[in-house]
Amino acid sequence: MTEIHYLDRPDNRDLRQIPGDYGLPLIGNALSLGANPLKFCDDRFHRYGEISRFAMGPSHIVLALGPDNARELHLDTQKNFSSAKGLGHFESLIGGSLIMKDFEAHRFQRRLMQTAFKRSSMDGYVEHINAICAATLRPLFGSDEFELAGYARSTLMEIAAQTFTGVTGQGKEGAKLKAAFANFIDGFDFIFEVNLPGFKYHGSLRAKKYIAAFIRELIADKRHNDDSDILAHFCRELDENGNYFSEFDIVENFVVLLFAAQDTTTASLVNACLELGRHPEWQHRLREEARALGKESIGQDDFEALPSFSLLFNETQRLHSSVPLFPRRSINPCELSGVEIPADTLLMNAITYNHVMPGWWTDPYKFDPERFEREEHKQHPFLFHPFGGGAHKCIGMHFAQMVFRIFMFHLITRHEIQLRPGYDPDLQYLPMPKPKDNLPMRLVPVN
């Protein structure tokens, strides 16, 4: 009898031997998990321990909490955990991309992105990012109250248009491209694939089709010119045999870059400003470091002189993880936290819960960036892992941190973030963490 390849096998749904519950009919535990992943995970941890079962729509999933399980799933020394099948829910949107590949196929695809995220390449993006951040923020300085989330997202879409494709977002073509970027990303919070007009999933598929056609038109020219945008690097990259990557590979990995980079960085910026508004002493600390440089714009060589920006980024990621959960699927039977896990079982580790897990962190829900100077996060290699780990560690992590620092530099150097008195917003956690009201705030000039 021929063994069925793991990629062709259906999900295992029989988890009766594992403690937990499947929530409501049809939707499972989707509402409680989506409303507050931290509360959901904390409840499961105290009721069932590190391993429990739950459901998201038709999918039965094992929740594997804690840094030990994060290490098992990320490092995957036995090559037993599939990212492709763990993310199978999104196959129709990003099925041909790097994060949907396992093992050797993943290593091959990762090569496509390697030049685009080298330090020398990222130095070429700095001028555009500085100019875009300065131009976007300038009209807000001293203005009436505005919602930061919308402006931050618009800024990052402009950065994506220019640094990803070399196309300015200001013209008609650029505006249409940015709208497609936004529509594509907005469709990722679906439970069921409803491909009908009016549903965000349908809009995401249409946007991907537009982006793919747009990118294909650029590939031939970018293979033979000296453009320095990310797409140009993709187009000129060669595989191990000295051949260009296919148009399909380029398009699929370009769109997954949008998926991975945009709302995650938006969330980092918005939540950092939320915490800075609550803790003005940290605004002062960042401002003093920024002003000490005596510059109108910054690059990678300046980051060492801005240590508080790194502390802020890390503490923001700890309290408001941009990627709250990460999935895998078992290939063969295995054991996690002493519990037997069947083959083909969907697994989920909660990054956001590891970042506040009882017993590891001092006053875990307190905003305290200096905990990273004290190296609390180094108690375990997977206690703090906002960018994942192992072979699938985010290849764009340094790009994301670069954009964060440059944006915050332009925002904080001459202005103070002011929130409404007593501001205590309701929070959204999925698909990205942020205040539900998009963080209304003012930027007040500071001498």
- What is the pLDDT confidence band of residue 316, given thresholds at 50, 70 and 90? very high
Measured between alpha carbons, how far is residue 72 from residues 86, 103, 110, 354, 380 in Å?
Answer: 15, 15, 21, 14, 13
- What is the pLDDT confidence band of residue 167, given thresholds at 50, 70 and 90? confident
431 — phi, psi (to 5°)?
-75, -15
User: Over the stretch 104-159, which tens digit does the pLDDT of each residue have?
Assistant: 888 888 888 888 999 999 999 999 999 999 999 988 888 789 999 999 998 998 89
Measured between alpha carbons, how far is residue 367 from residues 27, 87, 423 in Å?
Answer: 34, 32, 16
CA distance 149 to 146: 9
Q: What is the pLDDT of residue 230?
A: 92
Rank 120-134, 257-271, 332-346 by mean pLDDT and report only the highest. Answer: 332-346
Q: What is the pLDDT of residue 94?
A: 86
- Of 39 and 241, the one with more pLDDT: 39
Q: What is the pLDDT of residue 356?
A: 98
Mean pLDDT of 180-195: 84
Q: What is the pLDDT of residue 171?
A: 65
Query: Could you say which of 1.20.140.10, 3.30.1330.10, 3.40.640.10, 1.10.630.10 is the CATH number of the domain covering 6-445?
Result: 1.10.630.10
Measured between alpha carbons, how far is residue 227 from residues 231, 272, 405, 423 in Å?
Answer: 9, 33, 25, 46
Domain ranges of the chain: 6-445
CA distance 60 to 345: 8
- What is the pLDDT confidence band of residue 234, given thresholds at 50, 70 and 90? very high
Rank 78-82, 179-183, 242-246 by mean pLDDT and report only the highest. Answer: 78-82
* Mean pLDDT lowest among 136-150, 274-288, 416-430: 136-150
Residue 1 has pLDDT above 60, yes or no: no
Joined tokens for residue 266: 């938006």
Q: Are 440 and 146 in contact (CB under 8 A)?
A: yes
Q: Going by C-beta distance under 8 Å and a sequence separation of 6 or more, which residues neighbour residue 39?
A: 32
Residue 430 has pLDDT above 90, yes or no: no
Mean pLDDT of 358-363: 94
Q: What is the pLDDT of residue 170?
A: 58
Q: What is the pLDDT of residue 2?
A: 62
Q: What is the pLDDT of residue 254?
A: 87
Q: Are 149 and 266 in contact (CB under 8 A)?
A: yes
- What is the pLDDT confidence band of residue 169, given thresholds at 50, 70 and 90? low
Mean pLDDT of 1-24: 92
- What is the pLDDT confidence band of residue 363, given thresholds at 50, 70 and 90? very high
User: Over the stretch 246-256, which tens digit does the pLDDT of each residue have?
Assistant: 999 999 988 88
Burial of 110 (0-12, 13-18, 19+ CB in 10 A): middle
- What is the pLDDT confidence band of residue 278, given thresholds at 50, 70 and 90? very high
Q: What angle do CA 287, 289, 294 make, to 5 degrees?
A: 95
Q: Are 187 and 93 in contact (CB under 8 A)?
A: yes
